[in-house]
Amino acid sequence: MIKLYKKYEEIINYLIVGVLTTIVSIVTYLLFANTFLAEKSDLDIQIANVLSWICAVTFAYITNRIFVFKSHVKGKKQIKEACNFVLARIFSLIVDMLLMYVLYSLMHIDDTIAKLVVQVVVIILNYILSKIIVFKKSPN
């Protein structure tokens, strides 16, 4: 079992962090959508979505850096890493918002169900972007 974990450690850790990030995203989304944005207009849904995204990205950067990709860069390299992480997440936010618009506003799917579906797509996209752009390993 330990050999299997070691072989797939990065993916397993990413899935764990991804689930935790998804929980942060959904909980904060529901908190925002059902409190001061409780009217659930199209605009309220998007505002709640963006606010939950900010919370989730902050959590995701810290946990991915430490537990998944085990990055040890410092100084300017860390700033570049963080900027690349945020830029990659902005791209996935655009995908997230577009899918939420299609599922909620156009297809009239319940916003919570739509958010769950969108999160699956976003988790996969974020892993790919993190692996090939943000936390790519240098040759040496």
> What ranges do the domains of the chain cover?
2-134
Phi and psi at residue 127, to the nearest 5°: -65, -45
Residue pair 53/96 in contact by the 8 Å Cβ criterion: yes
Among positive and negative, which fits the CA dihedral 85, 86, 90, 96? positive
CA trace torsion 44, 48, 49, 51 (10° rounding):
140
pLDDT-based confidence at residue 79 (cuts at 50, 70, 90): very high
Q: What is the per-residue pLDDT for 70?
A: 92
In this model, does residue 140 exceed pLDDT 60? no
Q: What is the CA radius of gyration of the chain?
A: 16
> What's residue 48's pLDDT?
87
3-class state of residue 57 by DSSP: helix
- pLDDT tens-digit map of 23-68: 999 999 999 988 877 677 778 888 888 899 899 999 999 999 999 9
Query: Quick one: pLDDT at residue 75?
Result: 95
Q: What's the rounded Cα separation, in Å, for the pair 20 and 58?
A: 12
Helical segments of the chain, H only: 2-7, 9-33, 42-63, 75-100, 111-129
User: What was the pLDDT predicted at 124?
Assistant: 87
Position 2 pLDDT exceeds 90: no
